[in-house]
Amino acid sequence: MPVVRARDLSFAYPEGPAVLEGVDLDVQAGEFVGIAGPNGGGKTTLIRLVVGLEQPTGGELEVFGGPPPQATGANRIGYLPQRAEIGLSAPITVREVVESGRVSVAGIFGALSTEDEAAVDEAIERVGLSEKAGERLTRLSGGQRQRAFIAKALAGGPKLLVLDEPTTGVDADAQERLAELLDELRAQLGVTILYVSHEFGAIEPYAERLVVVRSGIVFDGAPSALPDVWHDPSHVHP
Amino acid sequence: MSILDSDFMRLAFATGAIVGVLAPAVGFFLVQRQMSLIGDGIGHLAFAGVALGYLLGISPVATALVASVAGAIGIEQLRSVRRAAGDQALALFLYVGLALGVVLLSAADSLNASVFAFLFGSILTVTTGDLILVATLGIASVAAVLALYRGLVAVAIDEEAARVSGVPVATLNVALAALAGITIGVSIRIVGILLIAALMVLPVMTASLVARSLRAALGLSMAIGAASVTAGLVLAYYLNLAPGGAIVLVAAAFYVAVSVAQALSGRRAHA
């Protein structure tokens, strides 16, 4: 059973033009899929549909064999939106960010159990921030902040990790290290990864599959098979 | 004569201590979610509640409490349904609350100086009944904030990510709105409708300057809130001032003092 299965999927805002049309997509467990395309092409909409934040206006979409809102419990989704909502002036530590990702497992009441604390420690360690766990997020570089938010997503033990433009504002080195980290996580945890980016150069060595979205899917295959002219997604033409 | 020899000051200090802890505890999560001004919207609805109390001849505090909680939940519902229009939802409730309050007070023939006690607080008007109401609801609300702390933080950090991972976001949002409504309802006697939002925000801003973690900031916010209310009430007593204004100015002074101290220590470190 694929983790994500879409058939003739479409989406449009009320009284607006179609953002996505006729999308067919299967994502298998353990795949690292890069989703690219021009701004406004529908790539963010596609993953918002997958995580259940938007509802399709046509076609079928299943995540873990059911409609996206059912993707909880044993089939958790770790989701990193483009930008976290909490203000950067908030005095929040790396550990507090990661602990918040455990709420989906631990529940909203009371203190974290020893098991939950261990899961938080492990997630922080996996992203290489153990020594920074007690530091305020504001003291970290952009790349380290993104690692903290990946650890937050990992703390809930997700089967599917969905990242929307995680490297916006992060330098090229940090982008590459992030892609390398995600590849390691996939190998170690078997987690399926959907990685949205309009600059997919950094993930090309690691993503085994690239999906280019421009209203529909205009390319789906190995990154090496992508025609040279399409390497700049803003010039993609269906 | 000691300040505590008067019954009304003992009642004011006891009520004020609870309000001083509760307001920043709830305001803390509103600030983190960049919804600092929602307290103003709810405060104006509380004003309509006070006016309704005058018109019906029942306790204005009770009607203000009901109006605050109902209004806070209404603002949250409107915000969640029309996500892009949070500020518009707030503006709608703010202006309607103010207009409704003025109209109802006119209808009750009560648009006079007695309303000032509700707008800016009054030491003299706190009754034993008020204290019992504030203590019951205030302590229960602080307990609720602490019990829901983890969930409220998860939603503050990222509402959509929390929703995707299965956190009951809608329930937590309604709970936070209801807590904000209760806070404003129980704070009317001491701080007043027009200034309570400041007590929910200023101590949090001050604590965020120096705290090393979110938990520490929450604890420090509550301590600064209690200290601001206590010092403000003392000033109001000796200088014959409206307590709401004195309390908020003390809270603002804390913020200015900490900001200046930080700036000076930073300059020294770079010298």
> Which pair of tokens denotes residue B60?
């204005």
Any B CB within 8 A of A228 CB: no
DSSP state of A62: E
pLDDT of residue A191: 92
CA distances to A85, A95, A218, B90, B123 from A43, rounded to whole Å, are: 21, 31, 12, 32, 59
Nearest to A209 by CA among A22, A21, A28: A28
Sequence-distant contacts of A20-23: CB under 8 A, at least 24 apart: A20/A45, A20/A46, A20/A49, A20/A213, A20/A215, A20/A216, A21/A215, A21/A216, A22/A59, A22/A216, A23/A59, A23/A213, A23/A216, A23/A217
Task: Please state the domain extents for chain B.
Answer: 3-197
Question: Hey, are the CB atoms on A108 and B216 less than 8 Å from each other?
Answer: no
Any B CB within 8 A of A116 CB: no
List, for chain B, all residue ranges whose pLDDT scores fall below the cut of 70: 1, 82-86, 113, 267-271
| Residues B244, B120 contacting (CB under 8 angstroms) | yes
| Residues A106, A116 contacting (CB under 8 angstroms) | yes
CB count within 10 Å of CB B84 equals: 7
pLDDT of residue A235: 53
> Which pair of tokens denotes residue B170?
């809608």
pLDDT tens for chain A, residues 1 to 238: 889 999 999 999 888 888 999 999 999 999 999 998 888 889 999 999 999 999 999 999 999 888 886 555 656 889 988 766 666 678 999 999 999 999 988 888 878 899 999 999 999 998 899 999 999 988 888 888 888 999 999 998 899 999 988 777 667 777 777 888 888 888 888 899 999 987 767 677 788 899 999 998 888 888 887 776 566 555 544 4
Name the residue facing A104 among B166, B207, B215 (closest C-beta): B166
Give the homologous superfamily in CATH for domain B3-197. ABC transporter involved in vitamin B12 uptake, BtuC (1.10.3470.10)
pLDDT of residue B84: 46
Distance from CA of B262 to the nearest CA of A (A): 15
Nearest CA in chain A to B146: A110
Tell which A residues from 60 to 89 touch B, by Cβ distance under 8 Å.
72-73, 76-81, 84-87, 89
Instruction: For residue B217, list chain A residues with Cβ-Cβ distance below 8 A.
Output: 90-91
pLDDT of residue A238: 45
Instruction: For residue B160, list chain A residues with Cβ-Cβ distance below 8 A.
Output: 53, 79, 81, 85
Name the residue facing A52 among B147, B158, B164 (closest C-beta): B164
- CA–CA distance, A219 with B68 (Å, rounded to integer): 54
Helix (H) or strand (E) holding A195: strand A192-196
CA distances to A51, A53, A69, A140, A191 from B166, rounded to whole Å, are: 11, 12, 8, 28, 18
Residue B27 backbone dihedrals phi, psi, to 5 degrees? -60, -30
Name residue, tokens 């976001």: B169
ipTM: 0.86
Pick the CATH number of A1-75+160-238 from 3.90.1150.10, 3.10.20.740, 3.40.50.300, 3.40.50.11890: 3.40.50.300
